[in-house]
A and B are shown apart, each in its own frame.
Chain A
C-alpha cells in the first residue's frame, strides 16, 4: 500500500491549459517535497513545503500544503510542453523520503 497516493496517475493536456495534481496521505509529514523527473534522469527538486496551510509559488506553479500536513497539491497555470514529465511528491519521515508513485504529465503542442 502506497503511503502517499498521487492522482491522477496520468494526465494529457493541450498547451495553455491549467491542471492540478494531488498528493494525499493518512499520515502527517514534517515536510513535503515536489520533484519533476524526466525519463532516465534523477528527480529535480521543485519546492519544499513545511508549514500546514503553506502556499508557495514558482512562476506558473503553485504548491499548497494541507492544514494537517497530510496532503498537498500542485497547480500549473498555462501549461507548456516543457512541463512534460513525472511529478513526484515525497514526504519527510525521519531521515528518509517516502515517495508517491507519481503523476505522468504530457503537454501537447
Chain B
C-alpha cells in the first residue's frame, strides 16, 4: 500500500509569492493534517481536515489556507510568502477524526528567498 505522498518535494519561492502544496493520504484514511517544521524544532500544527471540512486550526495567520477534496487528498496554500515561511511542510494521514495514530509523508521543503 502506498503511504502518504506529498508534492513537490522541494520548492524555492520569492517573498510575496503564493505556493500550493499537495498531499494524498493513505488509502482508506479520511483525515489529513498539515504541520510546519522549522529547523531545530518539532512540527507545529497548522490544520486538520476530516470529511472535507476544517476540524482544527493552529496558530497561523490567515495567509495559510487549506482544503480537502472528495478523494480525501488535500492542498495547503500560503499567500504573500515571507522568509520565515521557509520550513519543511508535513502532511499527516489518519484513519478517522481522532489523531491517535498519524502517518506522515516525506514533506515538502519550502525555501523562500
**Residues of chain A having any CB pair with chain B under 8 Å:** 4, 30-31, 33, 35, 40-45, 48, 50, 88, 90, 92, 94-102
Contacts and interface: CB of A to CB of B under 8 A. Distances in A.
Contacts, number: 72
Interface in B23-78: 33, 35, 40-45, 48, 50, 55-56, 58
Contacts of B106: 41-42
Contacts of A30: 100
Contacts of A35: 104
A101 B40 contact: yes
Nearest to B57: A96
Contacts of A94: 56, 99
A43 B99 contact: no
Nearest to A92: B99
Interface in B74-109: 88, 90, 92, 97-107, 109
Contacts of B88: 40, 42
B56 A88 contact: no
Contacts of A99: 35, 42-44
19 contacts: A4-B42, A31-B100, A40-B107, A42-B105, A45-B104, A88-B42, A90-B102, A95-B33, A95-B50, A95-B98, A95-B99, A96-B56, A97-B35, A97-B45, A97-B92, A99-B42, A99-B44, A100-B42, A102-B42
Choose among B33, B41, B56, B100 the residue with the greatest number of A CB atoms under 10 Å from its CB. Answer: B100
A44 B42 contact: no
Contacts of A102: 41-42
Given A97-B102, A100-B42, A42 B107 contact: yes
Contacts of A43: 43, 90, 104
